[in-house]
Every structure is written in structure tokens, then in C-alpha cells.
Structure 1
Amino acid sequence: MKKFIGFVQKEFYHIFRDKRSLFILFGMPIAQILLFGFAISNEINNVDIAVLNKADDKNSIEIIENLQASKYFNVLEELQSEKEIEKAFQKGKIKAVVTFEKDFAKNLQRLQASKLQIITDATNPNIANTITNYINSILTKYSHISLKQNTSPELVGTESRMLFNPALESVYMFVPGVMTVILMLVSAMMTSISITREKEVGSMEILLVSPLKPITVIVGKVVPYIFLSIINATVIVLLSVFVFQMPIVGSLSWLALESILFIITSLSLGILISTLSSTQQTAMMISLMGLMLPTILLSGFIFPIESMPLPLQVISNIIPAKWFIIILKSIMLKGVGFGFFWKETLILLFMTFVFLSISIKKYKIRLA
């Protein structure tokens, strides 16, 4: 036991002596969570739009006032003809134009199909689609208020409810994903260079002739990074709650336990990479290129897995991040218990066992 404790202390000395490692461990996670939280958003605010009001009646003016009063749009221009629409877009500031037909109010009062056209700049399709949805939402709300005062039969309306994220805050989607990406990359990257560092500085020969068993060496290298990764996870959760006001609906205990499990899974994957690499540079490149892109693209963090081709859906099942994101969203947003994510937990446990088993086997081969 004393030998194991001494080995763990040696690993801590290596980590705290290397300023670059400390920056990667603590500086990069904080920078990434702040960057994703503040800079990357699916929401729109203060988007400049223009209107072409051919009717210039009471209802069209009220709709324009509602658009201007919302926090989403700023009516920057009032166009006089359709010829000005293309020029307005070419200037680059206008992202949408709302066009009212003549006799708009008369058609609306008669409950006929009044024509209101929304023209958007689709150079960014996602933003164009979001702008259209926001304008339609404001129009629907206005229509419901107007129809309440009409004695004619009401039109069939729809009512929507958004569960778990009623305000449609994009940070609710990014925090679980960013937490997963950071823990995966930092944990795997730092452990992947641990054994290769020993080989490059020549201390691996000492380990090869030491009485330490392979499992002792591997666990001894993993323990310090488990401790440091837990600190990272705690900082991420605190930033999400106190900086981005993201509520955690579920159990903090389950959140902590599942986070520790994923950290161990990531560290075991990093140890596996380190046993297969001969230099620190190789280990780092494998960690970055082999883990970063699959974790971001195939985990469901940004793109829905259900929309991917079938081969990619199958490949996504071997990405640990996919299962951890499901667990995080279940706990943080839905507030469900272990009975709803026990399968994902077993999958992470199985992956951890496989990664550690292969690492120990590869280490034994090197001892032979």
C-alpha cells in the first residue's frame, strides 16, 4: 500500500510541476464553458428587419408595433415598394422583410385568408428558419387576441407546450454537451501522455523492473486525474448554475456518481491510448483527432443522432459521450431517477471494463 501511495504522489508531482498540464486541466475547461455559454446560441435577439406595408391600416400597424416591442426584432426600415427588398438584403443588415397585402385589415375582419409574406436572408438557413418561427409565433399570438373580440366562429387554433426547457434557452442544450466534451478530452488527453512521458524521460525502465503490478501502475496513474477531473466537473456545474442560471432538477448525488463514472471511463480510454503510443505527441494527436470529432459530431451534442444515416447511428453507440449526455439531460433537465438511465450506466461500466482490460493486457505485453 505504501508503494502505491508513493506512486500516486509521484504522479501528482508530475502534474503540478508542469504548468502546461495545469493550464489544460483547469484553464481550458473554464474558457470552453464560458465560450459555449455566451458566444454560441440558437436564440435570436435584436434582429434588424424591414416592413413593406401596402395596407397601412390599423391591424398591420399593430402587428408592426408588436414586432418592434418584442426583444427579438428591431424594425429598422419601412420599404415603399417590392423593388427595395433585394437592395435592403444586399446591404447586409436586414435579415427579414415582412410584407402586408392591400386591404389586410378587411380580409382579417372577414376571417378570410389575409396575405402576409415573410422573406428571410437564407445565407444561414438555421437563422432564417428561427426568424420565421419567431415572427409566426408573434403573429399567432396577435391573431388569438384579435379573434377573441370577433363574434364569428373562431378558427381552429393550436396550443404548444415546451417541457423541460419552456423558455427554449440554448444554454440548457450546451451545458450537458460541453461538460461531456471537456471531461472526455481533458481526462483522456492528460492520461494518454502519462505512460508515454515515462518512456520518453527514461523512467519506464524503472517501472519495468519494479515490483509494482500492471494494475497498480495503471490505477496509480488514473487516481490523480480522477481527483482533478472531479474538480473540473464541479467548476462546470457551479458555472452553469450561478453564471448561466441553469437549474438542476434531479438528484445531485446521482449527478456526482454518474460524472465520476464517466470520468473513469474517459481516463481508462486515455490509458489505453497511452499504451498504444510511443511518444507524447502521438498520444496527444490520437486523443485530439480520434476523440474530439467523434465526441462532438456523433454524441448528439450538436446534431440529433436520429437524423444521421444508419451507419453513423450504429457507430455512435461506441462513443461514451453519447450515453453520458443522455444521463446528464435526464438528471439535470428532466429530474428523473436511476430507473430511467440504468441502461446507459451499464454501458459506461462495460466500456470502462473493456478499456482497462485491454490496457492491462497491453502493459503485460510490454513487460514480457
Structure 2
Amino acid sequence: MKRFIGFVKKEFFHIFRDKRSLFILFGMPVAQIMLFGFAITNEINNVDIAILDRSQDTSTKEIISKISESKYFSILQIVKEEAEIEDVFKKGKVKAVLYFEKDFSKKLVKEHTAKVQIVTDATDPNVANTISNYINSILSNYQQEQNRAITLEYQILPQSRMAYNPELKSVYMFVPGVMTVILMLVSAMMTSISITREKELGTMEILLVSPLNPFQVIIGKVFPYIFLSIINAAAIVLLSIFVFHVPVNGSLVLLGLESVLFIVTSLALGILISTISATQQTAMMISLMGLMLPVILLSGFIFPISSMPLPLQLISNIVPAKWFIIIVKGIMLKGVGIHFVWKETLVLFGMTLLFIGLSVKKYKIRLE
């Protein structure tokens, strides 16, 4: 036991002496959660739009006023002719043009119908679709205000309620995903270079002839990073709560335990990469390139897994991040308990045992 404790202390000394490792462990996670939390968003604010008003009557002025007063749009330009629309888009600042037809108010009163064309710059389809939806919402709100005095029989008035995220804040979706990506990449990347560092420094032979068995070496390599990654996870959760105001509706204790389990899973995967890599550079490349794309694309972080082809849906089941994102969203946003996420927890626990078992086996092979 004394030998094992001494080995763990040695690993701590290695980490604290390496300034690059400390930066990756503590600097990168904080910087990434701040950057991703503020930069990654599907909301729009202060989008520049142009107006082509061929009617210039009371109704169009009221609508334009409602749009300009909203925090979502800023009227940058007034267009006089339809031919100018393309030139406006080519300049790159204006993302949408609102085109009111001639005699808008008259048609609204006499024919009960008037047309507004929303022309958007669809070089970014998602942004264009979001802008269109926002403008449609403002127009719908104006229409309801005008129709308050009108009563129609058999009116169907659908009402939508967004559970768990009533304000549709994109940060609610991105923070759990970013938390998962950071813990996965940092944990796996740091441990992936641990054994390969021993090889490059020429100290691997000392481990090979030491009285420590392979399991003790693997656990000794992982243990310091468990402690440091828990500090990272706590910092990320605190930033999520106090900076981005993401609620934790479930148990903080359960969230902490699940985070520790995921950290151990990620560290075990990093150790497995370390045992099969000959150099630190190779280990870094495998952990970065081999994990980053699957974690981002196949975890459900950005793209819904249910929309993917069946082969990719099946492959996503071997990505640990997929299961942890389900757990984090369930605990933080839905307030669920262990009886709702026990299956995902068992999957992560099984993956941890598998990665540690393979690491020990690979390490044994190198002893022969």
C-alpha cells in the first residue's frame, strides 16, 4: 500500500511540475465553457434588416415600429425599389428585408388580407429560418392586437408551452453538452499521455520492474486526474449556475456522483489510448481527433441522434458522451432522480470496467 501511495504522489508531482498540463487541466475548461456558453447560440439579437414599404400607411408604420422596438432587430436601411434588395444583401450586413405590398392598409380593411414578404439571406439556413420565425411571431402578435374586437364562431386557439425551457434559451442546451465535451476531451487527453510520457522519458523500465502490478499502475495513473477533474467539473457547474443561470432542478449530489463516474470513464479511455500509443504526440492525436468528432457529432450535443441514419444511431451507443448528456440534461433541467437515469449510469459503469480491463490487458502484454 505504501508503494502505491508513493506512486500516486509521484504522479501528482509530475502534474504540478508541468505548467502545460496545469494549463490544460484548469485554464482550458474555464476558457472553453465561457467561450462556448456565450458564443454558441441559436438565438438572434440586433439583427440588421431593411424595409421596403410601398404602402407607407398607418398599419405598415405600426408594424415597422413594433419590429424596431424589439431587441431582436435593428432597421439598418430603407429600400425604395425591389431591384435594390439583391445589392443590399451583397453588402453582407443586412440579413433580411421586409417587403410591404402597395395599399397594405386598404387591403387589410377591405379584403381582410394583406401581404408582407420576408426576404432572408439564406447563406446560413438556420439563421434565415430563425429570423423568419421571429418576424412571423411579431406579425402574429400585431394581428392579434388588431383582431381583439372581432369575434368568430368556433375559433381554435392553440397554446404552446415549452416545458423545462420556457424562454427557449439556447444556453440550456449547450452548457450540458459543452460540460460533457470538456470533461471528456481534457480527461482523456491528459491521461492518454501519462504512460507514453514514461516511455519517452525512459522511466517505463522502472515501472516494468517495480513491485506494482498492472492494475495498481493503471489506478495510480488515473487517481490524480480524478481529483483534478472533479475540481474542473465543480468549476463548470458553478459557472453554469452563476454566469449562465442554468438551473439544477435535480440533486446536486447525484449530479456530482454521475460526473465522477463520467470522469473515471473518460480517464480510463485515456489510459487505454496511452497503453496502445508509442509516443505522446500519437496519444494526443488519437485523443483529440479520434474523440472530438464522435463526441460532438454522435453524442446528441448539437444534432439529434434520432434524425441520423440507423448505422450512425447504432454507432452513437458506444460514445460515452451520449449517455452522460442524457444524464446531465435529466438532472439539471428536468430534475429527475436515479430511477430515471439508472440505465445510462449502468452503461457508463460498464464502459469504465471495459476500458480499465483492456488497459490492464494491454499493459500485461508489454510486460512480456
CA positional deviation for 1:250 = 1.2
* Alignment partners' CA distance in 1, 2:319 and 2:236: 21
1:220-272 per-residue CA deviation (whole Å, 9 max, x = no partner) reads: 11110000000000111111111112221111011000000000000000111
Q: Which residue of 2 aligns with 1:74?
A: 74
Q: Which residue of 2 aligns with 1:288?
A: 288
Q: Which residue of 2 aligns with 1:37?
A: 37
1:184-211 per-residue CA deviation (whole Å, 9 max, x = no partner) reads: 1111111111111111212211111111
Aligned partner letter, 1:189: M
CA positional deviation for 1:113 = 3.2
CA positional deviation for 1:21 = 0.5
Q: Which residue of 1 aligns with 2:133?
A: 133
* Alignment partners' CA distance in 2, 1:67 and 1:283: 53
- 1:245-324 equivalent positions in 2, closer than 5 A: 245-324=245-324
* Alignment partners' CA distance in 1, 2:264 and 2:166: 34
Q: Which residue of 2 aligns with 1:329?
A: 329
Q: Which residue of 2 aligns with 1:116?
A: 116
- Aligned-residue CA RMSD in angstroms? 1.5
Aligned partner letter, 1:104: F
1:116-145 per-residue CA deviation (whole Å, 9 max, x = no partner) reads: 110001111111011001101111111122
CA positional deviation for 1:114 = 2.1
1:283-306 per-residue CA deviation (whole Å, 9 max, x = no partner) reads: 111111111111111111111111
Aligned partner letter, 1:175: V
CA positional deviation for 1:310 = 1.5
Change beyond 3 A, Cα 1:153–1:74: farther
* Alignment partners' CA distance in 1, 2:192 and 2:36: 25
Q: Which residue of 1 aligns with 2:367?
A: 367
- SS at 1:341 equivalent: helix
- SS at 1:102 equivalent: coil
CA positional deviation for 1:79 = 1.9
CA positional deviation for 1:104 = 2.3
- SS at 1:329 equivalent: helix
User: Does structure 2 retain, via aligned residues, the 8 Å contact 1:171–1:246?
Assistant: yes
- 1:222-237 equivalent positions in 2, closer than 5 A: 222-237=222-237
CA positional deviation for 1:168 = 1.5
CA positional deviation for 1:321 = 0.4
Q: Which residue of 1 aligns with 2:167?
A: 167
* Alignment partners' CA distance in 2, 1:170 and 1:17: 39
Larger displacement relative to structure 2 (97-106 or 114-123): 97-106
* Alignment partners' CA distance in 2, 1:200 and 1:76: 60
Larger displacement relative to structure 2 (178-187 or 53-62): 53-62
- 1:341-352 equivalent positions in 2, closer than 5 A: 341-352=341-352
Aligned partner letter, 2:136: N
* Alignment partners' CA distance in 2, 1:334 and 1:136: 30
Q: TM-score, normalised by structure 1?
A: 0.96
Larger displacement relative to structure 2 (343-352 or 202-211): 202-211
* Alignment partners' CA distance in 1, 2:223 and 2:25: 15
> For this pair of structures, how many residues does the alignment match?
368
* Alignment partners' CA distance in 2, 1:40 and 1:130: 15
CA positional deviation for 1:73 = 0.5
- Which runs of 5 or more residues in structure 2 are unaligned? none
User: Does structure 2 retain, via aligned residues, the 8 Å contact 1:299–1:305?
Assistant: yes
Change beyond 3 A, Cα 1:338–1:347: same
CA positional deviation for 1:158 = 3.0
Q: Which residue of 2 aligns with 1:176?
A: 176
- SS at 2:176 equivalent: helix
- Which runs of 5 or more residues in structure 1 are unaligned? none
CA positional deviation for 1:10 = 0.4
CA positional deviation for 1:30 = 0.9
Change beyond 3 A, Cα 1:155–1:144: farther
Note if 1:201 corresponds to 2:194.
no
* Alignment partners' CA distance in 2, 1:155 and 1:195: 70
- 1:147-158 equivalent positions in 2, closer than 5 A: 147-153=147-153, 156-158=156-158
* Alignment partners' CA distance in 1, 2:84 and 2:110: 31
